[in-house]
Amino acid sequence: MQAVALRRVTDAAVALALAGLATVELLLPLTSVLGTGSVAVSLAVALVVCGALAFRRTHPLPVVLVVVLVWPVVYSLTPIYVMFWGQFVPLVVALYSVARHGSPRQAVIGVLVGAAGLLFLDLRVPELDSADERVFHWMVCTVAVALGVFVRSYERRAVAQARRAVQAETTSREQVLRAVADERARIARELHDIVAHSVSVIVVQAGAAQKAVDDPVFVDRALESIRTTGTAALQEMRTLVALIKAEDDESGLAPQPALADLPSLVSQMSVPTTLVVRGDERPLEAGVALSAYRIVQEALTNVRRHASATKVEVVLTYGESVLEVEVADDGLGAADSHGALDSSGGNGLIGMRQRAQVYGGSVAAISVPGEGFRIRATLPLPSSAPSSSAPSSSEAHSSVTSP
């Protein structure tokens, strides 16, 4: 609204300025005034012609008709002065305006009417009956029309480009939101399987304890298993409730992978891949272990698709309170070589971040041109996570698979 009001004020100011110049031109008079006639009638015609320019954007064709036709009609009825500021300049502005702001049809009509007005000046006004005058006013009017057409074409291209940019941005945002929703739905389905398995364990243990009520030791172990399994199931259920649910798909019956399946995943790589485990390796909650596996799986998938790497290293580091997952390759390292991991919202990185954020973790993508690409994820671990009977060591345990 403010822009529209500003344009109207500008047009009114242009019309008022030309009217003032025409008045000064006629009353002094200036050397640009030619011919003879009534000063009052000439001034009235000039004011009408200049005043019409206040509507040159909103009604470009009617303005051209007024500017071009009023003066010849009055001139045919009674002699009036030929004026530069009160007649010719408004004609140039009107022709530019109809070419700039009018529709193509209006522009054609306006140009034809303007050409007819110029022919009238050439044939009926003795003061303009010279080659210099004719070349001048035809050249200036042609330039005005050409400039109006050029500006209109340029503006339309700019508007079209801006519209396409907005559509591209909207489409990109929709794709990001769709990727987030799809990944959350997938995580929800996987957590559903984990919780369902935990509940099944609880049911089995409760049934066994019911049949062995005479064996206190067995009952105590069964109840302890029910307690720990139920606690873990409740934690997973709280996570599940926070996610967007979607209908299950055909993969719902497939067993969920775990960190123990990483060697098999690494062995499927077509480039030499090293799996390194550091710290005190121990069992993890099913959801955390699954998230770590999926992050490694997605990172390796993107290495195969985008990296042009010759070697890959997967490192799991068990800390006291966090599990760090790192996948590094020696590929191109440029951002565009990992299009699916681009920080602007590639689906691969979105899925990794969603999985890490479910458990309060984070994912970082680091690209060094010419030195490779690195995915680093951090997943918090419960401080009371039980230690396994497997040997604990701060040394690295590694498995290398070469194609």
Structure tokens at 378: 């951090």
Give the pTM.
0.50
The answer to whether 311 and 295 have CB atoms below 8 angstroms apart is no
Is 162 a domain residue?
A: no
Q: Which pLDDT score, from 0 to 100, does residue 96 have?
A: 96
Q: Which pLDDT score, from 0 to 100, does residue 213 have?
A: 62
Is 156 a domain residue?
A: no
Identify whether residues 303 and 331 lie together within a single domain.
yes
Identify whether residues 77 and 184 lie together within a single domain.
no
Is 263 a domain residue?
A: yes
**CATH number of the domain enclosing 245:** 1.20.5
Identify whether residues 22 and 101 lie together within a single domain.
yes
Fill in the amino acid letter for 255. Answer: P
Distance between CA atoms of 236 and 230, rounded to whole angstroms? Answer: 10
Distance between CA atoms of 342 and 299, rounded to whole angstroms? Answer: 12
Distance between CA atoms of 89 and 17, rounded to whole angstroms? Answer: 12
Distance between CA atoms of 54 and 69, rounded to whole angstroms? Answer: 17
Identify whether residues 308 and 371 lie together within a single domain.
yes
Q: Which residue has the tokens 């123990």?
A: 260
Of 221, 251, 281, the position where a domain reaches its end is 251
Is 134 a domain residue?
A: no
Overall domain count for the chain:
3
Of 251, 285, 304, the position where a domain reaches its end is 251
Q: For 336, which DSSP code?
A: G
Is 155 a domain residue?
A: no
Identify whether residues 221 and 111 lie together within a single domain.
no
Q: Which pLDDT score, from 0 to 100, does residue 208 have?
A: 67
Q: Which residue has the tokens 């001139």?
A: 75
Q: Which pLDDT score, from 0 to 100, does residue 400 have?
A: 47
Enclosing domain of residue 262: 258-401
Distance between CA atoms of 32 and 86, rounded to whole angstroms? Answer: 10
Of 75, 100, 129, the position where a domain reaches its end is 129
Q: Which pLDDT score, from 0 to 100, does residue 251 have?
A: 46
Is 32 a domain residue?
A: yes
Identify whether residues 373 and 296 lie together within a single domain.
yes
Distance between CA atoms of 377 and 358, rounded to whole angstroms? Answer: 13
Closest of 288, 346, 357 to residue 316, by C-alpha: 288
Is 153 a domain residue?
A: no
pLDDT in tens, the chain (403 residues): 777 888 899 999 999 999 999 999 999 989 999 999 999 999 999 999 999 999 999 999 999 999 999 999 999 999 999 999 999 999 999 999 999 999 999 999 999 999 999 999 888 998 888 899 899 999 999 999 999 999 999 998 988 888 888 888 878 778 877 877 777 777 777 766 777 666 766 766 666 666 666 667 776 777 777 767 766 666 666 665 555 444 444 444 456 788 888 998 888 887 889 999 998 888 888 888 888 998 998 888 888 776 578 889 999 999 988 999 999 988 765 444 444 444 444 567 887 888 888 888 999 988 877 678 899 999 998 764 443 333 343 444 445 454 5
Identify whether residues 236 and 282 lie together within a single domain.
no
Is 184 a domain residue?
A: yes
Identify whether residues 304 and 373 lie together within a single domain.
yes
Distance between CA atoms of 131 and 6, rounded to whole angstroms? Answer: 41
Q: Which pLDDT score, from 0 to 100, does residue 128 have?
A: 86
How big is the CA angle at 260 (ends 258 and 263), to the nearest 5 degrees?
115
The answer to whether 71 and 44 have CB atoms below 8 angstroms apart is no
> How many CA atoms, within 13 angstroms, populate the side-chain half-sphere of residue 110?
33
- In a 10 Å sphere around its CB, with 0-12 CB exposed, 13-18 middle and 19+ buried, how is residue 201 labelled? middle
Identify whether residues 212 and 328 lie together within a single domain.
no
Identify whether residues 288 and 243 lie together within a single domain.
no
The answer to whether 72 and 116 have CB atoms below 8 angstroms apart is no
Identify whether residues 98 and 203 lie together within a single domain.
no
**CATH number of the domain enclosing 331:** 3.30.565.10
The answer to whether 292 and 259 have CB atoms below 8 angstroms apart is yes
- In a 10 Å sphere around its CB, with 0-12 CB exposed, 13-18 middle and 19+ buried, how is residue 212 labelled? middle
Torsional sign, CA 87, 91, 93, 94: positive
The answer to whether 64 and 95 have CB atoms below 8 angstroms apart is yes
Separation in Å, CA 111 to CA 93, 123, 152, 167, 322: 12, 18, 15, 36, 76
Helix residue ranges, H only, 212-285: 216-241, 262-267
Identify whether residues 263 and 225 lie together within a single domain.
no
